[in-house]
Amino acid sequence: MIDSKVQQAIAAALQAFAAYNPINVGALQSRLTEVFTADEDFLDKVDALDEVFDEYPQAEGLREVFFDLLMVNFFQADVQRLEDDYLDTPEWEEIEEETLDRGTELLNLLLYLNECKDEGIEPSLEDYLEEFLLVEDDEFQDEHQIYEPVIANQILVESSPAEVNRVAQSLPEDEELKELFYPMITFFQNTKGSQTDEQEVAENAVDKEFDMAVYSILQVFGRD
């Protein structure tokens, strides 16, 4: 099974990526859809996903982002055919252990956007940080540390993509959120961005092919 939002996000991300790094969108999208819709265990799907990106090295930059989408699809679609308490089973604990080093913080953001839709909440950066990630809670200091550059620069949601670019480029290379900083902040500047907004985001992107692929995914998940 494949979740409709995930399916739309796959198409949007590949189209955005291909605008700056030519790839065979149709062939790659077809291969990825096969992976996402396969009736297989999650770890088998992860292996299949890696095989696809091994075949398309020019799209390597999207590998971990698509792992995030695979995980979202599991929660939204695949888990429906499993036992109600599957996420509390030793089998799922083993999967979590084996995939600890996979994916990005995009996963948390996509789960947040799905929760906003389910609960009728208007997404915002402040709500994401404080109510979803609980970065101000003493028990969640790991999240606080990861999101420190975002927490320190929340005012950028009231700024421009050009200013977000400036700050993004100034972040240390070892910052965990350095790659996602630009598309995340520009998305929260206008979660229902227009075509004009998207053009401005693209013009000021730090890494155009990656930033616009992630931004496109966020726009899909941010839609009503």
Q: Which residues of the chain have pLDDT under 50?
A: none
Dist CA 220 CA 213 (whole Å): 11
CB neighbour class for 88 (10 Å; exposed up to 12, middle 13-18, buried from 19): exposed
| Residue whose structure tokens are 């998940």 | 221
User: Tell me, what's the pLDDT at 77?
Assistant: 83
pLDDT digits (tens, 9 = 90+) for 157-195: 999 999 999 999 999 999 999 999 999 999 999 998 889
Handedness of CA 95, 5, 158, 210 (dihedral sign): positive
Residue 89 three-state SS: coil
Dist CA 34 CA 36 (whole Å): 6
CB atoms inside a 10 Å sphere around CB 221:
26
- Tell me the pTM: 0.94
CB atoms inside a 10 Å sphere around CB 100:
7
User: Tell me, what's the pLDDT at 218?
Assistant: 98
User: Tell me, what's the pLDDT at 85?
Assistant: 74
Domain definitions of the chain by residue range: 1-103, 104-193
Q: 34 CB contacts (<8 Å, ≥6 apart)?
A: 48
